[in-house]
Structure 1
Amino acid sequence: MTTHVTIIGAGLGGLTLARVLHVHGIPATVYEAESSPAARAQGGMLDIHDHNGRAALQAAGLIEEFRGLVLDGRQASRAIAPDGTVLLDEPDDGTGGRPEVMRGELRRMLLDSLPAGTVRWGHKVSGVRTLGDGRHEVTFADGTTVATGLLVGADGAWSRVRPLLSDATPEYAGLSFVETYLFDADTRHPAGAKTVGGGAMYALAPGKSILAHRESGGTLHTYVVLRRPLDWFAAIDLTDPTAAIARIAREFDGWAPELTTLITGADTAPVLRPVHTLPGGHRWDRVPGVTLLGDAAHLMPPSGEGANLAMYDGAELGAALAAHPGDAEDAFTEYERALFPRSAAEAAEAVRLHELMFGDGAPHGLIAMFTGEQ
């Protein structure tokens, strides 16, 4: 295949696709809105799974590089009641079966595996239109354009490419995450550090939760989860971090101080991350010359699978294009035929997990899942 593949979005899925294409000698260009690889923080820890994330990295020929990124001990998990009682404490079993890595380091590994110039930074898409005969034109915010016969939307929840294929738009799922960090926690926030332990910590109650993960060094990454309408969050002035943190912490009055310190001890301003989803069975009719992967295709509640699925989508699409040289439509058809049922099943599981974690039965549903009873 000599036709150039145009990929919109330099997230994990788009970069995995570009890497697998490169392995097979297929040229690609990735257009990314961010100005550089360091333009923003890339999020926290990722649990990379054997059946999708690691399979994708195997297809990309990057397993050895990946192993060098794994943080030892981070597979530990504990569940804690609002009063501080430890309900479940599972140490890292040392098997490496659920390796944890930093998202930013994984992205850097993928970027470093691509030929220079593959990613074009500072290219924010303002629109995409059909030219006919399977070709499309992408317009960027600076007024420049690119025409392509093979277009892949790897541009996330608010994809500019998706409207070529689907009228679906993300809808608010009824809950939001508020994200903060505590740095040098073992020294500066010892109670919180001890509570979180060496890996992930879940303090759950119906409609509200405090989640935390130990990242590199002594950094604790905290997510407060609240089931509230968007206008409730809109009433909080996030430009005043002190007041915002105090308002959010009030939702946890009566909780153990070693838990609430994960909110009140924050070293960063709170960042609101509303959860939006696409319909669980989202699919589209085949449109020549274009397809989607990752959140652009199947945005679902956070479940630990999003990054894994995006990379797997990228690897599967790359493999399909390599297996059908000169016939991208057959490749896209084969890819989508597997994508749709896979995505629907994962979306249904993500909804089930969210109900276990944040529904009326929390925290007992999640504990039952951890112990194999659910």
Structure 2
Amino acid sequence: MRIAIAGGGLGGLTLARVLHRHGIDAVVYEREAGRSARAQGGSLDLHPESGQRALTDAGLTGRFRSEARPEGEEHRILDPAGRTLVHHRPPPGSFSGRPEIDRRALRDLLLDSLPGDAVAWGHRLVAATPRPGGGFGLTFDDGHRADCDVLVGADGARSVVRPLLTDAALSPVATLVELSIGDADRRHPDLAELVGPGNLWCIGVRRILAAQRLGEGTIRVGISLPADDRHLDAYRSRRALLDMFDGWDRRLTALIEAGDGPPIPRRIEAMPTGTRWVHRPGVTLIGDAAHLMPPVGEGANQAMLDAAELAAELAGSPADPDAAIQAYEKAMFARVHPIAEMSARVQAMMLSPTAADDIVRFFTPRAEPAAAD
């Protein structure tokens, strides 16, 4: 059974790792030239029931705990005047919640757990063609070709594999503008203190200015705005961004001013909630390729859980991979649907005119009802 995994992100690498633990080989085809070809983004909070569970199946819990930062779970929410609305502090050193780990560290952890030839770098998939006897012929942008019996699309939002199963269209849900502040403790100690060890959200009317501490000391800044028809170039000006936050406390807008390079804008898109497809032999999807959601904390966690569950099914039915894929898809559709609905509601809430009040209610623990006498 030749298994090809399109995409070497967290989902694809988790799938390869769990399969490897079961003695099943797979090749991950990744378009990047190598593990250091580009920055991997910010940090993630791994949830016990999904991301951490997948790492347990991968046999990597110990290494995860050596790299993760429980203190990164600290979360502050401010209003535009800089007043604290919510301040969550995790128990010191506790892994019982959702500890943060840098994406780069998590990806390296997974890569280091695989044989050296498990990832084919510099292979950007451009076409997957059904073969008469089953399986697929793969074509890559450099003309290289390969065959497989089972193809797993772990290739993200712009998946090349997805059209084999569904024509679901992506819809814009927000605009995100990112900046980065390197060596913040030394160069901008006031901003480092403002952000703290975890996440900071500053919530206004239909806009959020957020910042996140990475383990190596960088602060990643993100500006979330409603999706609109403006060209992305309109968000590349630092001055234009500062004008959007006119009247906000200068301590907060200093996060925009301190960015090391030009602002980097991108559209945030999502698939229709409840997207499903009719099973097709020899092919399936995991992660964003299967269920692209707004980025509210579930995407990477669900991708890793998809991978662990698919690997378990394939390992349990090595002689009948199609039965394994069908079982995985049935369970995945049922699991992801309510999570995708919740993610869409949270995304809409975060950019609503009443976002501050709504989010404070969302993050404020409900009091337990008094016991009856």
Query: What TM bracket, shorter-length normalisation?
Result: over 0.9
Give 1:204 deviation, angstroms: 0.9
Give 1:360 deviation, angstroms: 2.2
CA contact (8 A) 2:156 2:289 kept: yes
Give, as a single letter, the amino acid of the residue that structure 1 aligns with 2:324: A
How far apart are the structure 1 equivalents of 2:40 and 2:98?
A: 20
Secondary structure, aligned partner of 2:106:
helix
Instruction: Tell me: CA distance 1:132–1:303, structure 2 relative to 1, closer, same or farther (3 Å).
Output: farther
| Deviations, residues 43-89 of structure 1 (Å, cap 9, x unaligned) | 11100000000110000111111111112411111110101111122
Give, as a single letter, the amino acid of the residue that structure 1 aligns with 2:327: E
1:263 corresponds to: 256
1:37 corresponds to: 35
Alignment of 1:96-111 (within 5 A): 96=95, 97-111=97-111
Give 1:287 deviation, angstroms: 0.4
CA contact (8 A) 1:75 1:93 kept: no
CA contact (8 A) 1:126 1:141 kept: yes
Give, as a single letter, the amino acid of the residue that structure 2 aligns with 1:137: G
Instruction: Tell me: CA distance 1:235–1:222, structure 2 relative to 1, closer, same or farther (3 Å).
Output: closer
How far apart are the structure 1 equivalents of 2:135 and 2:166?
A: 17
Give, as a single letter, the amino acid of the residue that structure 2 aligns with 1:38: S
How far apart are the structure 2 equivalents of 1:72 and 1:339?
A: 29
Give 1:147 deviation, angstroms: 1.5
Q: Indicate yes or no: 2:278 matched with 1:285.
A: yes
Secondary structure, aligned partner of 1:223:
strand
Q: Indicate yes or no: 2:324 matched with 1:340.
A: no
How far apart are the structure 1 equivalents of 2:115 and 2:177?
A: 37
How far apart are the structure 1 equivalents of 2:65 and 2:137?
A: 39
1:142 corresponds to: 142
How far apart are the structure 2 equivalents of 1:89 and 1:158?
A: 36
1:131 corresponds to: 131
CA contact (8 A) 2:232 2:266 kept: no
Alignment of 1:1-374 (within 5 A): 3-94=1-92, 95-96=94-95, 97-173=97-173, 175-236=174-235, 238=236, 244-373=237-366
Secondary structure, aligned partner of 2:269:
strand
The two structures have a TM-score, normalised by structure 2, of 0.95
The two structures have a TM-score, normalised by structure 1, of 0.94
How far apart are the structure 2 equivalents of 1:373 and 1:352?
A: 19
CA contact (8 A) 2:51 2:301 kept: yes
In structure 2, stretches of 5+ residues that fail to align are: 368-373
How far apart are the structure 2 equivalents of 1:233 and 1:226?
A: 12
Give 1:217 deviation, angstroms: 4.2
Secondary structure, aligned partner of 2:14:
helix
> Greater shift after overlay, 278-287 or 268-277?
268-277
Query: How high is the sequence identity, in percent, across the aligned residues?
Result: 42
| Deviations, residues 106-153 of structure 1 (Å, cap 9, x unaligned) | 001101101111100000111112223431111101112112110000
Give 1:230 deviation, angstroms: 4.0
Give, as a single letter, the amino acid of the residue that structure 2 aligns with 1:312: L
How far apart are the structure 1 equivalents of 2:262 and 2:77?
A: 26
Give 1:41 deviation, angstroms: 0.4
Give, as a single letter, the amino acid of the residue that structure 2 aligns with 1:104: R
Secondary structure, aligned partner of 2:230:
helix
Give 1:168 deviation, angstroms: 1.2
| Deviations, residues 299-347 of structure 1 (Å, cap 9, x unaligned) | 0100111111111100100000001121001100000001112121111
> Greater shift after overlay, 191-200 or 295-304?
191-200
| Deviations, residues 230-264 of structure 1 (Å, cap 9, x unaligned) | 4243434x4xxxxx111112100000011101111
Secondary structure, aligned partner of 1:168:
coil
How far apart are the structure 2 equivalents of 1:149 and 1:137?
A: 9
Give 1:169 deviation, angstroms: 2.5
In structure 1, stretches of 5+ residues that fail to align are: 239-243
How far apart are the structure 1 equivalents of 2:158 and 2:318?
A: 31
Give, as a single letter, the amino acid of the residue that structure 2 aligns with 1:231: R
CA contact (8 A) 1:158 1:170 kept: no
How far apart are the structure 2 equivalents of 1:66 and 1:133?
A: 42
How far apart are the structure 2 equivalents of 1:84 and 1:110?
A: 39
1:241 corresponds to: none
How far apart are the structure 1 equivalents of 2:124 and 2:328?
A: 27
How far apart are the structure 2 equivalents of 1:28 and 1:344?
A: 28
Give 1:194 deviation, angstroms: 2.5
How far apart are the structure 1 equivalents of 2:357 and 2:326?
A: 42
CA contact (8 A) 1:183 1:267 kept: yes
Give 1:274 deviation, angstroms: 1.2
Secondary structure, aligned partner of 2:311:
helix
